[in-house]
Structure 1
Amino acid sequence: IAQNLVKVGGPAIGGVLVAAVGSAWAIGWDALTFATSALLFARIDLKPGAVKVRAGFLADLWDGWSDFRSRRWLWVMVVQGALVVPVWLVGYQLLGPVYGERFLGGAGLWGLVVSGFTAGLVAGAAVALMWRPRLVGRVVCAGTGSLALPLAAMAAAVPLPVLVAATAVAGTGLAVSMTVWSGLVQERIPADRLSRALSYSTLGQLVPVPVGYLLAGPLSRAVGVRATLAGGALVIVLAAVVPLLIRQVRALALAGQPAHEPVPAEKAGVSARAPR
C-alpha cells in the first residue's frame, strides 16, 4: 500500500512535467530521485549472516531447478507470467505512451491513465488486506486476465474515462493476484528453498521481456499500434484461462481455506512444516 500510494500522484505529475517543460527535464528529475533513493538505501545497516554452502554453487543451482520443476502448479504459473509480463510491458509501458500521443493528445492525458492504474494498485492492496480468497489459483488467473482490459480498451479507442476505469480495474486485479500468490508461495515452499524458487520464477518471467521489446517496434509498424494492442489483449486472456484447465491450479488454496478439489500434498509440493 505504501509503495502504491506514492505511485498514484507520480504519473500525473510526470505527465504535467513533460507537457510543461519537456521530457528532458522530466527524465532529469527522475534520475535525481534514483540518486536520492540510493542514498537512502545506503543508510540501511544490515548485518551479514552466515551462509552454509552444502555442495557448491552449481550443485545448489541444479538442486533449486529440480525442486522448482517438481512443483507443477509453480512452473505452470511461471510460464503464464513469461507470456503475460512481456506482453503487458510492451502494451502498457512501451506502446501506451505512443497511444497517448497519437490518440489521446499528449503526455498529460496519458498520465491520467497511468494514475488510474496505480490507484487500482492501491485499491487492490487494500482489498487483499481484508479478503482471504479460498481458491487462490482462480483468483490469480482472474487478476492476470484483467490486464487485458486496458490493452483491449486502447485497441477499441474507447473514451478517456473508460480507459482510465479499465486501467484501474487492471491495477486492482494485479495487486490482489500478486498479494495472494505471494502468500501461497510462502506457505507451500519451505523457507530454505523459497529464495531459489522465487529466483527461477523471476528469471522465467523477465527473460522474454527484451525479446518482446525487440519485436514490438517492427510488429506495431507492420500492423499498427491498435492491432498490436488487440493481439496483446488476446494473448493475456489465453494465458489467464489455459492454466485453469489444470486441476492443480484450479484447486490451489491457502492454508485453512480448503478447495472443492483437494490436491494430494505430495503432488502439490506442500511443505510438511506448518505455515507460519
Structure 2
Amino acid sequence: MHGFVGDLGLLRDRRFALLMSARTISVLGTAFAPVALAFGVLALPGADASTLSVVLTAQSLPLVVFLLVGGVIADRFPRHLVMTAGESINALSYFALAAMLLTGWTPLPALATAAAVSGIATAALYPALTGIIPEVVPPERLQSGNALLGLGANTSRVAGAVMSGGVVVLFGGGWALAVSGLMFAVAAVLVAGLRPARAGGEGAGSGAEAAREAGGSVLADLRDGWREFSSRQWIWVVVAQFSVLVMAMQAGHGVLGPLWAKESLGGAPAWSAFLAGEAVGTLAGVVLSLRLRPRRPILLGVLLCFPTALPYALLGSGAPLWLTVAGAFLMGVCFDVFGVLWATTMQREVPPESLSRVASYDALGSLMFGPIGLMLAGPVAHLIGTQAALLCCSAIVVATTTAALLSPGVRSLRAPEPDPAVPAAS
C-alpha cells in the first residue's frame, strides 16, 4: 500500500517543496484569470462574445506556435531558469492587462498583445515543468509527486475560483488581473531558488544535463523529439483525441460558458461557482490519484474523459446552477486523475533528455485547435444559440473519446510492476 504519510514525506525535500510552492502560487495567479479576463473584457463598452474571442485567441495562438521552441529551450537549458523567465514574463503581461483595465485605456490590439505575451511565456513554462519533475522526484515516487503537485495546484484553483468572482464583483477585473501578476512574480522568485541536482545525483537529472551539453541544431532537436513522440502510439492517439476535445473545451470554458452565465445564470458569481465546483472536484481527484495504481493507466485515463462531457450537456439543456456545478465537480475529478496518470506515464516511458520536447509536442497537438474553438465560439453562438453550441461541445467530447479507445496502444499499455525491493513510501 502507498500511505498518505509516506506520500507527504516528499514535502521534506527542499527542492520538491520549492517546486510545489512555486507551482501552487503560479496556479493561484492563473485561477484569477478566467473570470477576471472574461468579465473584464465583456464589461468594456461595446464588447461582446466576439471581442472576448479575439483576446483569448491572441493568448492561446502564440502558446501553440511557440510550444516546440519552448520544448527545445527546456531540454537545452537549466529548467529552473526557463521556468523563472516564464513566470516573470507572465507577471509583466498580467500587470499590463490590469493597468489597461484600471486606467480605461483598452484598445483591442493592446489587450491582444499583452495576452499574446502571456501565451509565449506559458509555451516555455509547460515543457520545463514537465521535464523538471523527474529531476526532483525519485522514479518510484513519480505518481505521488505528480499528485502532490496537483494537490497544491488544485487547492489554488479552488481558492482562485472562489475569490476571483468576489474580487471582480467588488473591485473589477483589473484588480483581479493585478493579483494574478503578483502571484506570477512571487512564483518566479521561488523557482529561481530551485538549483539543479549535483552531478552523480538523480539519474534523470544527470541524463538531461548530458543532453544539454551535447548541443546540436534546433531542427535536429525537434526531429529527435518527434521520433520519441511518434514512436509511441498511445501518446499520439491521445494527443489527437485532445486536439479536438480541447477545441470544444476552449469554446465551452472560454466563451460559451461565461456567455450563458451572463445571459441566464447571474453573471460572474455563477460562473465562479461553476469553476469552483470543477476545482473542488480536482481536489477529490488528487486523493483518488494518490491511491490508484491501475495496470492500464492510459486506458483508464481515456475512459475518464467520457464524464467530462456532462457539464456542457447540463449547461446546454438549461439545467439549474447547482446541477451544473455538480457536473463541473465530476469533470474536475476525472481530469485530475487523467492528468496524474498521463504525466506519470510520460515521465516513466520517455527518456529524460527528450522529455520536455515530447511534452511540447504533446501540448502543441493537444492545444493546436484550441484557438479555432475560441474563434468559432462567438459566431456559432450568434448563429445557433449559446445552448445549442454548448450541446455541440458535449457531443464532440464523447465522439473523440470513443475514437481514442479504438487504439491498441491506448488499451494495452501497462504500468511497470512495482519493485519488491523498493519500499512503497519512505
TM interval, short-chain normalised: 0.7 to 0.9
In the TM superposition, 1:23-34 aligns within 5 A as 23-34=173-184
**Superposition CA RMSD, Å:** 2.1
Q: Deviations over 1:228-262 (max 9, x none)?
A: 111011111111111111222111221129xxxxx
Cα 1:43/1:168, change in 2 over 3 Å: same
Give ranges in structure 1 of 5+ residues lacking alignment: 258-276
CA distance in 2, matches of 1:31, 1:206: 23
Q: Look up the match of 2:322.
A: 161
Compute the displacement of 1:12 (Å): 1.5
1:96 — aligned with what? 257
- Separation in 1 of the partners of 2:220 and 2:379? 41
1:118 maps to 2:268: no
The residue number in structure 2 matching 1:65 is: 226
Question: Which residue of structure 2 lines up, in the alignment, with residue 274 of structure 1?
Answer: none
Aligned residues: 257
Alignment of 1:32-181 (within 5 A): 32-46=182-196, 49=209, 51-53=212-214, 55-181=216-342
CA contact (8 A) 1:19 1:106 kept: no
Find the partner of 1:191 among 352, 358, 382: 352
1:29 CA drift (Å): 3.0
| Cα offset, 1:45, TM superposition | 4.5
Q: Is the 8 A contact 1:146 1:174 kept in 2?
A: no
Q: For residue 268 of structure 1, what is the aligned residue in structure 2?
A: none
How much has 1:42 moved relative to structure 2?
4.2
d(CA) in 1 for partners of 2:376, 2:416: 42
Q: After superposition, give the CA deviation of every residue in 1:43-77 in whole Å (9 maximum; x if it has no partner).
A: 54558956233643222221221232122221111
Please give the alpha-carbon distance, in whole angstroms, between the structure 1 residues aligned to 2:175 and 2:357. Answer: 40
Amino acid at match of 1:126: V
Task: Check whether the contact 1:14–1:26 (CA below 8 A) recurs between aligned residues.
Answer: yes
Pick aligned residue for 2:170 from 20, 24, 36: 20
**Equivalent residue in structure 2 for 1:11, among 161, 166, 173:** 161
The alpha-carbon deviation at position 202 of structure 1 amounts to 1.2
Shift of 1:201: 0.8
Secondary structure of 1:254 counterpart: coil
Percent of pairs with identical residues? 33
Cα distance change, pair 187–37 in 1 and its aligned pair in 2 (3 A):
closer
Amino acid of the structure 2 residue aligned with 1:117: E
Over 3 Å counting, the alpha-carbon distance change for 1:226 and 1:184 in structure 2 is same
Q: 1:59 to 1:29 in 2, by over 3 A?
A: closer
- Measured in 2, the distance between the counterparts of 1:201 and 1:13 equals 32
- Greater per-residue helix proportion: 2
Q: C-alpha offsets along residues 63-97 of structure 1, whole Å, 9 cap, x if unaligned?
A: 22123212222111110111112211220132221
TM-score by length of 1: 0.85
Give deviations 1:129-164, integer Å, cap 9, x for gaps: 011122223211122222211111100111111111
CA distance in 2, matches of 1:241, 1:173: 16
Structure 1 residues 20 and 207: alpha-carbon distance in aligned structure 2, compared to 1, 3 A threshold: same
State the distance in 1 between where 2:335 and 2:179 align: 28
Look up the match of 1:242: 403
Q: Contact 2:255 / 2:378 at 8 angstroms: preserved in 1?
A: no
Q: Specify the code of the residue in structure 2 equivalent to 1:22.
A: G
Amino acid at match of 2:319: V
